[in-house]
Amino acid sequence: MKKVLVTGGIGFIGSHTCVELLSQNYEVIVIDNLSNSQIWIKDKIEEISGKNITFYSNDVCDRNALIHIFETEKNIDSIIHFAAYKAVGESVEFPLKYYKNNIDSLLNLIEIAEKFQCKKMVFSSSCTVYGIPDSLPVSEQTPIKPANSPYGATKQMAETILNDVCRTGSLRSVLLRYFNPVGAHPSAKIGELPIGIPNNLVPFITQTAAGIRKSLSIYGGDYDTADGTAIRDYIHVVDLAKAHVKAIELLTNETEFQIETINVGTGNGYSVLEAVKAFESSTGVKLNYQIVERRAGDVPAVFADTTYANKRLNWKCEFGINEMMLHAWNWQKNLK
């Protein structure tokens, strides 16, 4: 079994990716500092998969901890790098926190991977690298615009670093530019677990439906869209997790390329109000919501052209918006 190091593997996307890796018989090594996750998620990953993971409660910014993991595990074949701060609004408020964590962790990982001859990395990038695109849908050829937030800037910088490093031949990488991951595992055993007030739409929806929040705040009702609310490409987290396994397979089976950049979304854009209506129709639960001022760093509309992902990864999404919302709600109910 090939060993895959998953940074941030107890988090939302990381935990679902661990499940998919285990289902394909990879040996999974996880490093997670639990700053935005809970240790009991490890047990749920193992419960769903029927297999064990090796877990290290460390920070990727800690060079000595990373060296220890590589020395202990030996022959780590590839890396999936999720570990990063990810809230757009928070990054505007605390930019240095984002630059230091997101860039330092990547530099550490690359340097130590080189030291131990681990030459394959799947990187968790983001559609935020496109800034406010001139046209939609967004393809891999869409020009990179100035980032709308420090979070987006860290993803642009990380891509630049990886492109430069991969050109030297010491590393090969697949950059997956995510759109908006939502939902939860159909088992309702793992899902999005924000600490404190959610930064993302769907957990705010489910917490409002559960009575944890008094009302849902929709940031901006005056965008140049059909209903005035922002448009996003929501992708089920299980579909996204499977794309990571396909990216590892691509790196393993095709050795002639140094770096690939691939958009990972559904190709469908839904407004925030459409997402709210999808939740209400799929669950039968009515939401109390209010439209408030726009949030710093948000773009009006973005959704993916998935042509290249479907072809290059031999992958496509299986879940629709109603299933995304239903699975997220089942997960929320299971947390009570």
3-class DSSP assignment, residue 287: coil
E strand or H helix at 44 = helix 40-49
Query: Is the Cα torsion angle 24, 5, 312, 133 positive or negative in sign?
Result: positive
List CB contacts of 43: < 8 A, sequence separation 6 or more. Answer: none
List CB contacts of 72: < 8 A, sequence separation 6 or more. Answer: none
Overall size of the chain counted in residues: 336
Identify whether 98 is a catalytic site residue: no
User: Which residue is catalytic, options 151, 178, 234, 270?
Assistant: 151
Query: Are the beta carbons of 262 and 309 closer than 8 angstroms?
Result: yes
CA distances, 308 to each of 79, 130, 208, 265 (Å): 22, 17, 37, 11
Opening angle at CA 135, ends 131 and 140, nearest 5: 65
Provide the token pair at 82.
């999720």
Opening angle at CA 129, ends 221 and 152, nearest 5: 75
Query: What span, in angstroms and rounded, lies between the C-alpha atoms of 178 and 181?
Result: 7
**β pairing state of 120-126 and 172-178:** parallel
Query: Hey, which residues are catalytic here?
Result: 151
